[in-house]
Amino acid sequence: MLPLIVLGGSVLLALAAPLLARLSGRTAGYPLAAGLAALGVYANTSAGAIVDGDVLTASWDWMPALGVSFGLRMDGLSLLFVTIVLGVGALVMAYSARYMGDGYPVGTVYGLLTGFAAAMIGLVTANDLVLLYVFWELTTILSFLLINTAGPKAALPAGRALVVTATGGFALLGAVVMIGVAAGTTDLGVIVGSPEVVLASPLAVPAAALLILAAATKSAQLPFTFWLPGAMVAMTPISAYLHAATMVKAGVYLLMRFSPVYVPTTAWSMVLVPLGLLTAVVGAVLALREHDLKAILAQSTVSQLGLLTAAIGVGTSYALSAAVLHTFAHALFKATLFMLVGIIDKEAGSRDVRELGGLRKVMPVTATLTGIAALSMAGVPPLIGFVSKETLYEGFLEADFAPGAGPVAAVTAVIASALTFAYSARIVYGAFGGTLTQPDLYEPSTAFLAPAAVAAALGLALGLGVGVLNPLTDRATTDLYPGAEPATFALWHGVNAALLLSLVTFAAGYALFHWRDRVDALLQRLWVPDGSAVYDRIRTRVIEFGGLVGKPDVDPTPAAVLARPVLLLPVLAVVAGIGLPALPGYPGPAVQGLDWLVVVLVLATVAGAAVTRSVLAALTLTGFAGLATALWLLLAGAPDVAMTLLLVEVLTTVVAVLVLRGRGERLQRPARMRATPAALTALAAGLSLGTATYVLTGRRPPSEVGGYFLDTAQEATGGTNVVNTILVDFRGMDTFGEAVVVGAAALGLLVLLRRTSDESPGGTGDAGAPRRFARDGPADTVVMRVASRVLFPVMLALSLFLLWRGHDEPGGGFISSLVGGVAVLFLRLAHRGDAWALRLRPEPLVGTGLLISLLTGLAVYPLGLPFLAPVYLPGEVLLSSFIFDLGIYLMVVGLMVAAVDRISGRTRVGPVLARRDRAAPGGTTP
């Protein structure tokens, strides 16, 4: 339970943060700091048990079908990281309470910062790979949002940070999937508990490569270092927390977590050690080149993360415990330095060492604290940084993945550390040494200094008494190297190789500082590849490539758009045809005599519809092709589908005739340039689909799923018309979605064609001209009117009867609504202009239908039943599916009313299509 309470508590704090900020402004940082600190203390109440080897877990089913659980664990490594996240979090919150002044987005920053703390806790306590990935991405997103709080100038660097770290997230997802497949589980404890399972899989190597990629992006290793200095546009508390102490350690955590699996492999070391050490040296050189205090710290973070990566790569128990301790030490001194640099920036108005100077005279406390933290960073005794640096040296000396690797690694680390010493000195001397340039400054308030003072004091105290950390770091080390003999940390180890290396470091570092002007001149001449520029160039190229890919779709003609998918059909057919096995036979006779009649009818009508130039003939022949298809459906044993198609054909034809009134009766002869390729494409597509039908369909026994519906429909739903039970019961959600499409078409039509009260004749048509359809349809006659009075109620009753019996006999929502649609159409045509026929409005019909269907489906949720589970009235009368069908009925009738209303009535084009430059006639307002 403990990990869940820690995670849940931090989530609650994140939710409360914006409210607290609204109530008390920037001072909300104090209660938040207290909350985080309390959670940190609470987490450490378990330290005793965890040090003894307990792993506290909590787990709930999340995606049981995939074996993914919402599992949390708290072992030594997790507890160490949780302590860093909550401890530094508390300090940063308290610092923010004084850092942020007027004009800062206080609520946003506090909410995101505490939310980030929660995500980070989730990341380091996740016991499931998928969960770990989710929290990983959350930290990426929150980092992006936090950088963006700095305003418009942050947009570009924030975007870079997001893209780089999200690319790593994508790599992590790949690694998670691969490891999950290789291990057969996503349980982290099980995976690291039996590394041989993963290592035996061929996926082990690509998974490791992706893990390293993910860690390298998140922890800013080469060549992905550039996003981290860019992220420094964020305000200092954010930089201190995310981009120094916690988030950038996520990659380090990931590598540590998977150490039990990969440390035994040499390749792991051969990649990580050179990568880490190279990053360490490059970062340190770049840090020494900077003049901006914050930029020095950013490059320094890159460098220190490199040392950590390399130490993890060495993979001996000594190196791993050094990495664990240095993670802790770095979080402490780097957060301190960031907070102090923020104070200098606020007080002096600059972070540039060339402008600052002599501040020790006016800000002695700040100067002392900075000195302590910088000494820790430089690895000078008796601070914690000294102990961790010494252990790192010892660890590097143990590197044995290649002959001579140990000494080379240690010497490289010494070079990086000498540079570290030099830039540490530069920070302190640059700001506080030399002559005072701003004598009117004074020490900041105690409250502003306090968090940094606490962190600096801790760095000193834990250096002197580093022994107190031993139990936890031992446990963390054995967590990531089972059976290891972790290094026992002590301030004084006696005279050994590491101490000698430390002395060399100090001497070289001091030399670099002493000749700082020459060093600086040399470094400024250094050509440094600009990672951001490379990134920007790649980004521009990618966007250009996207434009190239999308170009054919910008302003294309309909035929050009459709040609591509249609032409893909024959290609697919040819590809599928290669290597096609011998075809199995049909389980029964697949052709009946009457089928050939349909073939003849379809052939004749489609050919006619394709070549005719008469509008009326094209319309009629298409309608007949539909009727022939309906006949085929009837022969195929689908009476419901056949009825639906018949009704649809009738309605389509009526609507089409309404549209075509008052238009030319002739279609153009297609230009030969268009007709020939169109015919060839059409033939290729038709033959492909026809061949596919012949080869791929019906050559198997009846499908299992079809049999399932036939066997269970009556029992499960009480209906005997299986097709309709599928529509309203088994797949009710789908049907609802489809009915919504119908409703959307109706609403689209209403928006497209606005009703107009202007009854003046529209268009340019001359009613008397020959070869045009009459404007007033033949329907508007006395006979029609009288007939409609009789027929309308009968048709309506028939449609309701079909609706009612749909569950057992052919009928149901769609068919009955189409019959109702015919009735409405008839009525509206016979009584055009008659007031009572106009009372049916499309909008309420569609809206009511949608609501009825939705509410019927949802009504059973409180009973714990799924969408549209059947509900019976007393006496076994099925209620819910009937009401659901009624809703669908109303939606389809709504479409019909909309169509008659707008297509036959006087309308004008809605604002969607109206163009300013085209003054349309007929009272159309532009």
- In order of 217, 763, 899, 908, 924, the CA distances from 921 in angstroms are 62, 6, 22, 10, 6
Does residue 761 touch another protein according to CB under 8 A? no
In this chain, which of 465, 546, 664, 844 binds another protein, going by CB under 8 A?
Answer: 664
Q: Which is nearer to another protein, 6 or 625 (CB)?
A: 625
| Piece of 316-324, 346-354, 514-522, 663-671 that binds another protein (CB under 8 A) | 663-671
Q: Is 589 in the site for another protein (CB under 8 A)?
A: yes
Q: Which of 196, 517, 555, 876 binds another protein (CB under 8 A)?
A: 555
**Residue of the chain from 295, 615, 716, 883 that contacts another protein (CB under 8 A):** 615
Q: Which one, of 455, 338, 466, 299, lies nearest residue 390 by Cα?
A: 466
Handedness of CA 74, 77, 80, 86 (dihedral sign): negative
The answer to whether residue 858 forms part of the interface with another protein (CB under 8 A) is no
In this structure, is the dihedral angle defined by the CA atoms of residues 476, 478, 480 and 485, taken in order, positive or negative? positive
List C-alpha distances in Å: 797 to 75, 467, 836, 891.
Answer: 72, 90, 19, 18
What are the φ and ψ backbone dihedral angles of 334, each rounded to 5 degrees?
Answer: -75, -40
Q: Terminal CA-to-CA distance of the chain, rounded, Å?
A: 67
Gap between the Cα atoms of 829 and 903, Å rounded: 12
Least Å distance between CB 850 and another protein?
Answer: 14
Q: Least distance in Å: CB of 792 to another protein?
A: 21
Out of 28, 726, 819, 850, which residue is the one contacting another protein (CB under 8 A)?
726
Beta strand extents in 165-216 (DSSP E only): none
Tokens standing for 64? 């049981």
Minimum Å gap between C-beta 591 and another protein is 5
Nearer to another protein, 546 or 748 (CB): 748
Kindly tell me which residue out of 206, 434, 639, 777 binds another protein, with binding defined by CB under 8 A.
639
Asked if 899 touches another protein (CB under 8 A), the answer is yes
> In the bound complex, what is the minimum distance in angstroms from residue 829's beta carbon to another protein?
16
Helix (H) or strand (E) holding 73: strand 68-74
Name residues contacting another protein, limited to 216-255 (CB under 8 A). none
Q: Would you say 407 or 698 has its CB closer to another protein?
A: 698
Which window, 155-163, 270-278, 678-686, 824-832, contacts another protein (CB under 8 A)? 678-686
Q: Are strands 872-873 and 753-755 parallel, antiparallel or unpaired?
A: unpaired
Per CB under 8 A, the list member of 22, 514, 541, 674 interacting with another protein is: 674
Nearer to another protein, 133 or 736 (CB): 736
* C-beta separation of 635 from 665 below 8 A: no
Dist CA 642 CA 811 (whole Å): 11
**666 binds another protein, rule: CB under 8 A:** yes
In this structure, are residues 421 and 407 in contact, taking their beta carbons and an 8 Å threshold?
no
User: Does 339 participate in binding another protein (rule CB under 8 A)?
Assistant: no
Pick the piece of the chain touching another protein (CB under 8 A) from 37-45, 159-167, 262-270, 557-565: 557-565
User: Can residue 689 be called a binding residue for another protein (CB under 8 A)?
Assistant: yes
- The reply on whether position 596 binds another protein by CB under 8 A is yes
The amino acid that residue 800 corresponds to is: L
Helix (H) / strand (E) element for 872: namely: strand 872-873
Give the position of tokens 């010497």.
411
Which stretch, 40-48, 209-217, 697-705, 878-886, contacts another protein (CB under 8 A)? Answer: 697-705
**Pick 308 or 888: Cβ nearer another protein:** 888
**Residue 637 interacts with another protein (CB under 8 A): yes or no:** yes
**Residues binding another protein: what is the number (CB under 8 A)?**
138
CB of 912 to another protein, least distance (A): 9
Q: Which residues pair with 907 in a beta bridge?
A: 755
CB closer to another protein out of 514 and 700: 700
CA 438 vs. chain centroid, Å, equals 49
Does 823 participate in binding another protein (rule CB under 8 A)?
no
Q: Per-residue DSSP letters for 324-386?
A: HHHHHHHHHHHHHHHHHHHHHHHHHS--BTTT---GGGT-HHHHHHHHHHHHHHHT-TTSHHH
Nearer to another protein, 34 or 914 (CB): 914
Q: In the numeric block, which tokens belong to residue 67?
A: 């074996």
CB of 897 to another protein, least distance (A): 11
Interaction of residue 799 with another protein, rule CB under 8 A: no
Q: Could you say whether residue 733 binds another protein (CB under 8 A)?
A: no
Tell me which of 258, 262, 709, 882 binds another protein, using CB under 8 A.
709
- Count Cβ atoms below 10 Å from residue 653 Cβ, excluding itself: 16
What single-letter amino acid sits at 343?
I
Q: Give CA–CA dist 449/347, Å, rounded.
A: 12
Report the nearest approach of another protein to the CB of residue 780 (Å). Answer: 19
Q: In the complex with another protein, which residue's Cβ is closer, 264 or 664?
A: 664
Among 180, 570, 806, 810, binds another protein (CB under 8 A): 810
* Host H or E run for residue 18: helix 2-24
Q: How far is the CB of 749 from another protein (least distance, A)?
A: 5
Would the CA dihedral through 233, 83, 6, 71 be positive or negative?
Answer: positive
Residues numbered 48-107 forming contacts with another protein, rule: CB under 8 A:
none
Distances (CA, A) of 525 to 40, 519, 563: 47, 10, 58
Distance CA 404, CA 414 (A): 16
Q: Binder to another protein among 447, 507, 538, 599 (CB under 8 A)?
A: 599
Site string for another protein, 499-538 (x = CB under 8 A): ----------------------------------------
